């Protein structure tokens, strides 16, 4: 079984975001970059699937700059077998050209199952998995919180507003993973050592143009200074007169 996992290198969620001098990007100095937290669930599920079936290869793929080799190595240390960096250098990427480029590559390799995270926590797009499935013409279930494979058919559950959807999905398929699906393993020392010997291929790619252009990145407006109230009655008055929710 050929299992593909798409991952992304992102700014850690607790990093302080400062604007770059171009006003369109962040200043990366002082920012810690990590494997996208939702992709940890995707890598874990891929390795688990391989372990359960007893055969197969887990290939992790990312489109990005050479720096992303670090996050690919993290996945190899967790237990993935090989990694591919589609090196786009510093080209401007959006969901449109990212999915097109990764999609073209995945099409060229065997892929029985494709795992993604539900969302990359930098752009918070939640676009790539559905786009990839459309490009690959595969069925897809997004934001999956439980997954069982039987006879080549997935039963997947996902939360929607006010309910849980249970979806039946034939494979090959694209699955995007949500928190709750599994407990991602940590890369132990043995894994980290083994990862150094695993293949990490770099392919230079020239991306197509993005569909959108960043015009401006801004910091959120400061919330006005809050007020500490002494009594519940004062709060009720504020909720009535200012917030008008009562």
Partner 1 sequence: MTTIAVIAEARSGHLKKPSLEAVTAAKELAEKAGGATVTALIVGSGLGAAKQELAASGADHVVAIDSEALANYSGDGYAKVLVDALKELAPAAILAAHSAMGRDLAPRIAAALDTGLVSDATALHFEGGKYGATKPVFAGKAYKKSMFDSQPFMATIRPNNWEAHTGGSADVKDASTSLSAGDLKAVVKELIAAATDRVPLQEASVVVAGGRGLKGPEHFHLVEELAAAFGPGVAAVGASRAVVDAGWREHREQVGQTGKVVSPTLYIAIGISGAIQHLAGMRTSRYIVAINKDANAPIFKEADWGIVGDAFEVVPALTDAVKSAVG
Compute the distance between CA of residue 10 and CA of residue 125 in angstroms, rounded to an integer.
13
Using alpha carbons, select from 171, 174, 173, 181 the residue that is nearest to residue 146: 181
Site for partner 1 in 126-165 (CB under 8 A): 126-131, 133-135, 138-143, 145, 155, 158-165
Site for ligand AMP in 26-45 (CB under 6 A): 36, 38-39, 42
Residue 143 in contact with residue 157, Cβ under 8 Å? no
DSSP character string of 162-186: TEEEEEEEESSEEEEE-TTS--PPP
Calculate Rg over the CA atoms of the chain. 21
Site stretch for partner 1 (CB under 8 A), options 42-50, 51-59, 89-97, 188-196: 89-97
- Residue 135 interface partner, choices ligand AMP, partner 1, ligand FAD, none, CB cut-off 5-8 Å depending on type: partner 1
- Residue 148 interface partner, choices ligand FAD, partner 1, ligand AMP, none, CB cut-off 5-8 Å depending on type: none
Distance between alpha carbon 97 and the CA centroid of its chain, in Å?
16
Smaller CB distance to ligand AMP: residue 56 or 64? 64
Compute the distance between CA of residue 31 and CA of residue 26 in angstroms, rounded to an integer.
9
Binding pattern for the stretch 2-41 against ligand FAD, x by CB under 6 A and - elsewhere: -----------x-----------------------x----
What is the contact surface with ligand AMP in residues (CB under 6 A)?
A: 6-8, 36, 38-39, 42, 61-64, 95, 98, 102, 116-117, 119-120, 123, 125-129
């Amino acid at each position: 079984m050929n299992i593909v996992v798409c991952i992304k290198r992102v700014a850690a969620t607790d990093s302080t975001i400062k604007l770059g001098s171009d006003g369109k990007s962040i200043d990366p100095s002082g920012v810690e970059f990590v494997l996208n937290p939702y992709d940890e669930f995707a890598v874990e599920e891929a390795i688990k699937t391989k372990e359960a079936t007893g055969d197969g290869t887990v290939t992790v793929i990312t489109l990005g700059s050479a720096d992303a080799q670090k996050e690919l190595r993290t996945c190899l240390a967790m237990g993935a077998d090989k990694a591919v960096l589609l090196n786009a250098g510093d080209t401007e990427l959006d969901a449109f050209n990212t999915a097109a480029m990764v999609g073209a590559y995945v099409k060229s390799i065997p892929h029985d199952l494709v795992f993604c995270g539900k969302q990359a926590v930098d752009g918070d797009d939640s676009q790539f998995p559905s786009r990839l499935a459309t490009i690959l013409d595969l069925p897809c279930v997004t934001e999956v919180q439980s997954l069982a494979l039987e006879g080549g058919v997935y039963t997947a559950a996902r939360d929607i507003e006010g309910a849980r959807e249970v979806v039946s999905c034939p494979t090959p398929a694209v699955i995007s993973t949500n928190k709750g699906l599994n407990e991602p393993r940590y890369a132990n020392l043995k894994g980290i050592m083994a990862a150094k010997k695993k293949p990490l291929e770099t392919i230079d790619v020239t991306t197509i143009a993005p569909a959108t252009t960043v015009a401006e990145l801004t910091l959120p407006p400061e919330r006005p200074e809050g007020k500490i109230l002494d009594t519940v009655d004062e709060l009720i008055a504020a909720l009535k007169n200012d917030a008008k929710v009562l």
